[in-house]
Amino acid sequence: MLYMRTLLLLCSLLLTTGCLTPKVVGEADGHHKMGVAYINEGNWPGAISELRQSVKKNKWEKKHWHSLGLAYFGREMHAEAEEAFKEALEIDPEYAQAQTNLGALYLQTERWDDAVDVLEKARANPEYREPLRTLHNLGWAYFNKGDFPKSRKLYEQILRQYPDFCPAHRNLGSVDEAEGKLNKALDRYRKAVVCDPGDLKGLYALGVLEMRLDFVSDACGHLGTVHEAHPFGEMKDKAGEYLGELECDRVSGL
């Protein structure tokens, strides 16, 4: 009887949104599970459709809102993704995974101050299980704010703890280059490429710096690889422009 009275009281308080019964929770979880499967497939419309249903049925589950944010983010619906991540954080203000992905959204939209604010909160959570990603994104946020010492400190911390984390070598090279330490940057980009030969961003950064330093043959090789491997986008276009400026066809024929 006590349980039934408690349930009826809860339902009376939730008349505007519906009663959260075990059946409704199960239905919401089913939509969430399907939505996450669609995310893993890259089926963003399907994921959004399922996850909208999950939060409609159970608006009090932070993971459902977070997953909806990821689906919107994948679809490049940035305003909707931000709103969904914030809904998750309304439920749990210390939900570090949502903070980290909201920070990634702010990086994508070049909102550097907002990124620093939310990523610092995720970084402060000792229970978060993915600190590497948070530190890496935070370093990039500080870099784009022009705070090179803080960015350097974060990337050096990452490499002390995770020496095989290849993107940190590349981004630390970006810090060196921004500070005018070109030889150090060159060494760091080379390490990034050795660490991950398929890192096109690393190859591009290395090729551009080699061009600046008049290492024409090396620059042609690395920028040529980027131009051939990258199927579309600004990086391919810029690599092609540099190849033309360097007259790499002539260099390769010598």
CATH of the domain at 222: 1.25.40.10
pLDDT at site 130? 84
**Number of domains into which the chain is organized:** 1
Residues of the chain with pLDDT under 70: 1-18, 230-231, 250-254
> Residue 87: CA atoms inside 13 Å, Cβ hemisphere, count?
22
What proportion of the chain, given as a percentage, has pLDDT over 70?
90
Q: What are phi and psi of 15, to 5 degrees?
A: -60, -35
CB 222 within 8 A of CB 204: yes
| Residue at 6 is within a domain | no
Contact 158, 168 (CB under 8 A): yes
Whole-model pTM: value is 0.87
Residue 199, domain member (yes or no): yes
Query: What's residue 251's pLDDT?
Result: 57
One-letter amino acid of 64: H
Can you give the pLDDT at residue 253? Answer: 47
pLDDT of residue 233: 79
Alpha-carbon distance of 155 to 167, in angstroms, equals 9
Q: Does some domain include residue 202?
A: yes
Q: Which residues contact 209 (CB under 8 A, 6 or more apart)?
A: 173, 177, 182, 185, 186, 189
In a domain, 250, yes or no: yes
Q: How do residues 68-89 score in pLDDT, each as one tens digit?
A: 999 999 999 999 999 999 999 9
Does 204 fall in a domain?
yes
Query: pLDDT by residue (tens digit) across 184-217?
Result: 999 999 999 999 999 999 999 999 999 999 999 9
117 part of a folded domain: no
239 domain-assigned:
yes
Q: For residue 175, tell me if it sits in a domain.
A: yes
How high is the pLDDT of residue 12? Answer: 44
Give pLDDT, residue 249.
Answer: 83
Residues of the domain holding 230: 164-254
pLDDT at 90: 98
